[in-house]
């Protein structure tokens, strides 16, 4: 079937949905057409207006009243249901910016037709050149910017204008979303704020992605927000070996998966990304650049050593300039296993760790240390295309910063990780998406505004952050490019969102701490939800999920596989003239036509740029060649990071195309650029400083809390105890489920109402279960650190629970077995059970059966005898340490947490060491 017929049949599917709203960069079926993702569809209120059926739309029209927003300059705005305008102008912003036709004869009072399906938002788009702009700040409510870069179909006397209305309630004007709400009488019940509803999954059926049968697949990733975004946009989840359009994995890609990717498929990692995302690899790559290019260019990471290999170098460095040093496992995250020491002799030698100079003078907000998480999108390594997301997250430590070395043990003062600080009882979460500088999580833009008010040079700070990002990517790019050439068949198959962790010192110099593979998309507050939902939707639109039907996929795929070389290497048309290579050699730039491959790359880069949403392109920009050209191979434009490869080995691997040069010349040097560069430094900085705004509130994906019925819990508990008494047993899965729910209740208590004795029990249990390590010294220390201690115990228990729950998934069993407690009845019990109910069942089951399926699977050789568990409140908790063999079967906890590590005979606890060496010194 020819592609065009698929296109027509696909188009017919969209009876009432304007595909222009959800597909961009071409008509459905064209090679470059991709899906559009927006946050406004996440909100059930706006979703309803976005996805009206024709009948509903007609009904709405009759009920539609004119909504008049009387603004200070008396602009009257009328909402209408007409989609006509949006059809004349493609709307790329995932946050639903609106383009409307406005009669040129606008004087004092004008009527502007809104497309109801595109709720409007307050924003200052730094990338748009504003002709008639009324500031959204202050008194004015409406601002409109003419987007010159786009080519709207204008009627004779109308111009395409982007209307941005201040939705700020404080302004006293009705927000359009409020207006549409009153028109459509949309239910605003609590349910709107729940994470998931059936409707979320169902609403996607109206979307082009659903008709195009676009699928996604997850592998080992935390998925709530992502899944919701995919589902409401009409993507369908697939599992196993099924074909996918988008693969989102939390781990590195298998090379085989990469090799077999088709033209239409997208995956969220590049091969060998670990060059950037493993702490030790990143440091080595940057260190190599320091040697090759000079320290002054690559002084972007704290001096670091990989132990035990570089122990002597560390001691040498320490003797030159004394510590403290921060010790991190080479491949871990979320603050796990990190500790700070005053000198290298306090570092255990049994595991490979990265030891970095501790930055003792960090930037503090109101006395609290903070660090930044910024989001960096790389859509291509050759040519290099890097975007920095306009908004980032600032994480603050809960305890006020104090340089005194005696406080080095305190993670809630020295580490800014949310996963540590969230357990501290003083940790404050903002409860409103608009509160960007409240509590212990701020936005980047709020920090910049705060610093600016204090007279800091935020412009320079952000330029330095851009520079740091580009240099880190350049340092690691070479290996990734050669892997892409070997394993990735099509140029657009891979993209990657990296989470850069950056510490700013008190001179405002940014330091790169690490780069995270698969940065967390978990959300803990409305603010988090707003930033991450905008980030993900902008990311997906920018990257571009091809809007092909399955038939079109086959069509394009067979075309591309005809082109593809017989090997798995990416097709590069070497028969065509290597124009850019020649153009770099000659001083004058001859106008030589681009090769087909170059044209494709250029076109794709341009289209991608128009879809960038909140992403700011930081490479290439008009001055990147001038600033970073020296780090690129002059012939092929590949970043060079190994001296022996320069001009030799690597050139043999790649074809002589200089895509970086080609892209730069065509985007910036050949008269293509408009006089007003929308990606200029000034505009980029403005964009970082402005607050992220959305056209409609994004529901906070709260955990669904099932209302427990205490009485029902007690009734079911009696039933379960009776069953156990008469010989039924819990399956492994049921036992583990009960135990993790029980520990969750304990964890909740520890964070809300810490109890010293219970903390000690938990530590004892985790210590033994983790392989016989002694409790770290901080737990035996003075009383005034109790809040931090509680936070650490809770963090350890939280980490343990996470691993435990993951393990429990492998026990999933929904069959009813003979002699076992029936699945459905038990699930009901778990739904209503309180801590005491769970404890009663666990106690009874252990005492009667003499087995502990929540801890052991009976295959273990060292299962200890079950202790007699006293009945009564917390009896089970008190018996818990005795249930664990001191030669425990799992070292999970100690493996993942440094505070917990290294304290048995072979391996001394670092804090013990520090304490002992202190006391030895004291006794001397």
| Among the residue ranges 353-361, 656-664, 714-722, 751-759, the one whose residues contact ligand ADP (CB under 6 A) | 353-361
CB of 505 to ligand ADP, least distance (A): 9
Q: Is 359 in the site for ligand ADP (CB under 6 A)?
A: yes
In the bound state with ligand ADP, the residue whose beta carbon lies nearer, of 175 and 914, is 914
Q: Which residue has the tokens 């979460």?
A: 429
Measured CA to CA, the distance from residue 819 to residue 726 in angstroms comes to: 10
Pairing, β 325-329 against β 353-357: antiparallel
In the bound state with ligand ADP, the residue whose beta carbon lies nearer, of 119 and 323, is 323
CA distances from 276 to 271, 490, 650, 874 (A): 11, 22, 20, 47
Q: Is 287 in the site for ligand ADP (CB under 6 A)?
A: no
Pairing, β 98-103 against β 246-249: unpaired
Helix (H) or strand (E) holding 325: strand 325-329
In the bound state with ligand ADP, the residue whose beta carbon lies nearer, of 333 and 885, is 333
Q: Residue 199: what are its φ and ψ, rounded to 5°?
A: -60, -35
CB of 510 to ligand ADP, least distance (A): 12
Measured CA to CA, the distance from residue 578 to residue 292 in angstroms comes to: 29
CB of 767 to ligand ADP, least distance (A): 22
Residue 662 contacts residue 383 (beta carbons within 8 Å):
yes
Q: Is 371 in the site for ligand ADP (CB under 6 A)?
A: yes
| Among the residue ranges 412-420, 684-692, 785-793, 815-823, the one whose residues contact ligand ADP (CB under 6 A) | 412-420
Q: Is 342 in the site for ligand ADP (CB under 6 A)?
A: no
In the bound state with ligand ADP, the residue whose beta carbon lies nearer, of 333 and 479, is 333
H helices within 704-815, ranges in order? 710-725, 732-752, 756-769, 786-808
Measured CA to CA, the distance from residue 648 to residue 2 in angstroms comes to: 46
| Among the residue ranges 354-362, 454-462, 625-633, 652-660, the one whose residues contact ligand ADP (CB under 6 A) | 354-362
| Among the residue ranges 115-123, 409-417, 866-874, 894-902, the one whose residues contact ligand ADP (CB under 6 A) | 409-417
Residue 415 contacts residue 397 (beta carbons within 8 Å):
yes
Q: Is 413 in the site for ligand ADP (CB under 6 A)?
A: no
Q: Is 356 in the site for ligand ADP (CB under 6 A)?
A: yes
Using CB under 6 A, count the residues that bind ligand ADP: 21
Torsion over CA: 283, 285, 288, 290 (sign): negative
Residue 894 contacts residue 773 (beta carbons within 8 Å):
yes
In the bound state with ligand ADP, the residue whose beta carbon lies nearer, of 355 and 663, is 355
Where are any strands of DSSP class E within 288-422?
304-307, 325-329, 339-341, 353-357, 364-365, 368-381, 384-389, 393-396
In the bound state with ligand ADP, the residue whose beta carbon lies nearer, of 246 and 354, is 354
Cis upstream peptide for 324 (omega within 30°): yes
User: Residue 157 gets which letter from DSSP?
Assistant: T
Burial grade of 580 (CB within 10 A; 0-12, 13-18, 19 or more): buried
The count of C-alpha atoms lying within 13 angstroms of the C-alpha of 7, restricted to the half-sphere facing its C-beta, is: 12
Residue 608 contacts residue 544 (beta carbons within 8 Å):
yes
CB of 807 to ligand ADP, least distance (A): 22
CB of 356 to ligand ADP, least distance (A): 4
Measured CA to CA, the distance from residue 422 to residue 908 in angstroms comes to: 28
* Closest-CA residue to 414 (of 332, 322, 325): 325
Measured CA to CA, the distance from residue 730 to residue 753 in angstroms comes to: 31
| Among the residue ranges 127-135, 355-363, 423-431, 666-674, the one whose residues contact ligand ADP (CB under 6 A) | 355-363
Rule CB under 6 A: which of 301-330 touch ligand ADP?
302, 326, 328
Among 23, 34, 142, 338, binds ligand ADP (CB under 6 A): 338
Among 416, 605, 747, 773, binds ligand ADP (CB under 6 A): 416
In the bound state with ligand ADP, the residue whose beta carbon lies nearer, of 67 and 397, is 397
| Among the residue ranges 26-34, 225-233, 350-358, 487-495, the one whose residues contact ligand ADP (CB under 6 A) | 350-358
Q: Is 115 in the site for ligand ADP (CB under 6 A)?
A: no
Residue 45 contacts residue 192 (beta carbons within 8 Å):
yes
Binding mask 184-223 for ligand ADP (x = CB under 6 A): ----------------------------------------
Give me 155's structure tokens.
């009627």
H helices within 833-904, ranges in order? 835-849, 875-883, 892-896
In the bound state with ligand ADP, the residue whose beta carbon lies nearer, of 501 and 633, is 501
* Closest-CA residue to 104 (of 86, 129, 131): 131
In the bound state with ligand ADP, the residue whose beta carbon lies nearer, of 6 and 328, is 328
CB of 470 to ligand ADP, least distance (A): 20
CB of 420 to ligand ADP, least distance (A): 8
In the bound state with ligand ADP, the residue whose beta carbon lies nearer, of 334 and 509, is 334
In the bound state with ligand ADP, the residue whose beta carbon lies nearer, of 395 and 768, is 395
CB of 392 to ligand ADP, least distance (A): 13
Give me 511's structure tokens.
């330091």
In the bound state with ligand ADP, the residue whose beta carbon lies nearer, of 416 and 762, is 416
CB of 250 to ligand ADP, least distance (A): 15
In the bound state with ligand ADP, the residue whose beta carbon lies nearer, of 333 and 641, is 333
CB of 839 to ligand ADP, least distance (A): 34
Pairing, β 246-249 against β 215-219: parallel
Q: Cα 169 from chain centroid?
A: 30
* Closest-CA residue to 414 (of 478, 482, 356): 356
CB of 792 to ligand ADP, least distance (A): 14
Residue 553 three-state SS: helix
Measured CA to CA, the distance from residue 195 to residue 207 in angstroms comes to: 20
In the bound state with ligand ADP, the residue whose beta carbon lies nearer, of 371 and 538, is 371
Q: Which residue has the tokens 């109402």?
A: 753
Q: Is 335 in the site for ligand ADP (CB under 6 A)?
A: yes
Rule CB under 6 A: which of 708-737 touch ligand ADP?
none
Helix (H) or strand (E) holding 305: strand 304-307
CB of 489 to ligand ADP, least distance (A): 32
CB of 317 to ligand ADP, least distance (A): 13
Residue 798 contacts residue 914 (beta carbons within 8 Å):
no
Rule CB under 6 A: which of 484-543 touch ligand ADP?
501, 503, 513-514
CB of 45 to ligand ADP, least distance (A): 37
Rule CB under 6 A: which of 130-159 touch ligand ADP?
none
In the bound state with ligand ADP, the residue whose beta carbon lies nearer, of 147 and 278, is 278
Measured CA to CA, the distance from residue 69 to residue 49 in angstroms comes to: 19
Rule CB under 6 A: which of 776-835 touch ligand ADP?
none
| Among the residue ranges 104-112, 413-421, 655-663, 853-861, the one whose residues contact ligand ADP (CB under 6 A) | 413-421
CB of 302 to ligand ADP, least distance (A): 4
CB count within 10 Å of CB 632 equals: 20
Q: Is 280 in the site for ligand ADP (CB under 6 A)?
A: no
Residue 821 contacts residue 730 (beta carbons within 8 Å):
yes
* Closest-CA residue to 259 (of 465, 586, 485, 585): 485
* Closest-CA residue to 729 (of 876, 850, 855): 850
| Among the residue ranges 357-365, 478-486, 654-662, 855-863, the one whose residues contact ligand ADP (CB under 6 A) | 357-365
CB of 903 to ligand ADP, least distance (A): 21
Q: How long, in residues, is the chain?
A: 924
Among 10, 71, 141, 417, binds ligand ADP (CB under 6 A): 417
Per CB under 6 A, residues contacting ligand ADP are 302, 326, 328, 332-336, 338, 356-359, 371, 415-417, 501, 503, 513-514
């Amino acid at each position: 079937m020819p592609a065009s017929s698929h296109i027509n049949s696909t188009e017919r599917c969209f009876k009432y949905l304007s595909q222009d709203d959800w597909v961009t960069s071409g008509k459905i079926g064209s090679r470059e057409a991709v899906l559009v993702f927006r946050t406004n569809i996440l909100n059930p209120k706006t979703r309803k207006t976005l996805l009206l059926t024709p009948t509903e739309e007609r009904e709405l029209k009759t009920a539609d009243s004119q909504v008049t927003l009387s603004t200070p300059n008396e602009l009257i705005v009328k909402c209408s249901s007409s989609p006509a305008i949006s059809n004349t102008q493609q709307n790329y912003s995932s946050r639903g910016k609106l383009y409307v036709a406005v009669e040129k004869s606008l004087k004092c009072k004008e009527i502007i037709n809104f497309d109801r399906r595109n709720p409007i938002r307050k924003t200052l788009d730094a990338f748009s050149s504003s002709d008639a702009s009324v500031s959204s700040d202050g008194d004015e409510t409406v601002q409109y910017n003419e987007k010159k870069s786009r080519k709207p179909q204008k009627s004779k006397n109308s111009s395409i204008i982007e209307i941005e209305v201040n939705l700020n309630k404080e302004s006293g004007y009705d927000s359009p979303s409020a207006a549409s709400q009153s028109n459509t009488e949309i239910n605003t019940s609590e349910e709107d704020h729940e994470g998931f509803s059936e409707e979320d999954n169902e609403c996607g059926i109206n979307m082009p992605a659903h008709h195009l049968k676009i699928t996604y697949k997850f592998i080992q990733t935390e998925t709530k927000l992502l899944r919701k975004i995919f589902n409401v946009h009409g993507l369908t989840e697939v599992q196993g070996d099924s074909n996918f359009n988008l693969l989102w994995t939390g781990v590195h890609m298998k090379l085989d998966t990469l090799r077999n990717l088709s033209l239409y498929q997208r995956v969220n990692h590049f091969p060998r990304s670990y060059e950037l995302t493993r702490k030790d690899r990143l440091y080595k790559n940057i260190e190599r650049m320091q040697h090759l290019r000079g320290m002054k260019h690559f002084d972007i990471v704290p001096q670091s050593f990989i132990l035990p290999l570089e122990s002597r170098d560390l001691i040498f460095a320490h003797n030159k300039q004394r510590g403290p040093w921060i010790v991190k496992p080479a491949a871990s995250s979320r603050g796990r296993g990190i500790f700070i020491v005053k000198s290298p002799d306090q570092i255990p030698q049994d595991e490979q760790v990265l030891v970095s100079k501790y930055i003792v003078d960090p930037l503090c907000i109101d006395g609290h240390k903070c660090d930044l998480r910024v989001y960096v999108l790389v859509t291509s390594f050759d040519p290099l295309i890097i975007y920095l997301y306009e908004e980032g997250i600032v994480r603050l430590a809960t305890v006020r910063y104090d340089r005194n070395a005696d406080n080095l043990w305190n993670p809630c003062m020295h580490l800014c990780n949310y996963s540590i600080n969230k357990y501290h009882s003083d940790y404050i979460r903002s409860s409103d998406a608009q509160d960007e500088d409240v509590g212990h999580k701020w936005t980047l833009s709020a920090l910049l505004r705060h610093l600016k008010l204090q007279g800091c040079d935020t412009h320079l700070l952000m330029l330095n952050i851009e520079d740091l990002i580009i240099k880190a990517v350049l340092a690691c790019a070479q290996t990734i490019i050669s892997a892409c050439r070997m394993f990735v068949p099509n140029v657009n198959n891979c993209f990657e969102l990296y989470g850069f962790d950056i510490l700013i010192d008190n001179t405002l110099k940014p330091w790169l701490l690490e780069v995270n593979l698969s940065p967390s998309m978990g959300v803990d507050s409305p603010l988090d939800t707003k930033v991450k939902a905008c980030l993900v939707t902008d990311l997906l639109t920018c990257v571009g999920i091809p809007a092909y039907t399955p038939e079109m996929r086959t069509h394009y795929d067979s075309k591309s596989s005809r082109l593809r070389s017989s090997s798995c290497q990416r097709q590069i048309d070497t028969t065509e003239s290597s124009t850019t290579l020649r153009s770099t050699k000659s001083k004058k730039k001859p106008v030589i036509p681009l090769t087909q491959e170059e044209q494709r790359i250029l076109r794709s880069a341009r289209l991608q740029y128009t879809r960038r949403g909140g992403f700011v392109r930081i490479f290439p920009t008009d001055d990147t060649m001038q600033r970073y050209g020296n780090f690129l191979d002059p012939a092929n434009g590949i970043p060079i990071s190994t001296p022996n490869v320069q001009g030799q080995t690597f050139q043999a691997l790649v074809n002589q195309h200089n895509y970086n040069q080609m892209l730069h010349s065509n985007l910036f040097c050949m008269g293509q650029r408009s006089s007003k560069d929308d990606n200029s430094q000034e505009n980029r900085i403005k964009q970082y400083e402005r607050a992220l705004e959305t056209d409609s509130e994004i529901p906070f994906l709260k955990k669904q809390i099932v209302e427990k019925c205490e009485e029902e819990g007690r009734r079911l508990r009696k039933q379960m105890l009776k069953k156990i008494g008469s010989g039924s047993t819990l399956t492994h899965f049921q036992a583990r489920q009960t135990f993790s729910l029980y520990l969750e209740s304990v964890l909740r208590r520890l964070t809300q109402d810490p109890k010293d004795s219970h903390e000690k029990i938990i530590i004892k249990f985790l210590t033994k279960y983790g392989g016989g390590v002694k409790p770290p010294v901080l737990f035996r220390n003075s009383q005034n650190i109790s809040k931090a201690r509680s936070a650490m115990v809770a963090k350890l228990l939280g980490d343990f629970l996470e691993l435990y729950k993951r393990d429990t998934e492998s026990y999933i069993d929904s069959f009813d077995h003979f002699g076992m407690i029936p699945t459905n009845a038990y699930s009901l019990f778990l739904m209503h059970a309180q801590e005491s109910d769970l404890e009663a069942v666990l106690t009874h089951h252990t005492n009667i059966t003499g087995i502990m399926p929540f801890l052991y699977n009976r295959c273990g050789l060292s299962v200890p005898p079950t202790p007699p568990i006293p009945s009564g409140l917390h009896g089970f908790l008190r018996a818990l340490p005795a249930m664990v063999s001191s030669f425990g079967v799992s070292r999970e906890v100690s493996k993942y947490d440094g505070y917990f590590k290294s304290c048995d005979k072979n391996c001394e606890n670092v804090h013990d060491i520090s304490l002992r060496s202190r006391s030895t010194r004291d006794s001397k």
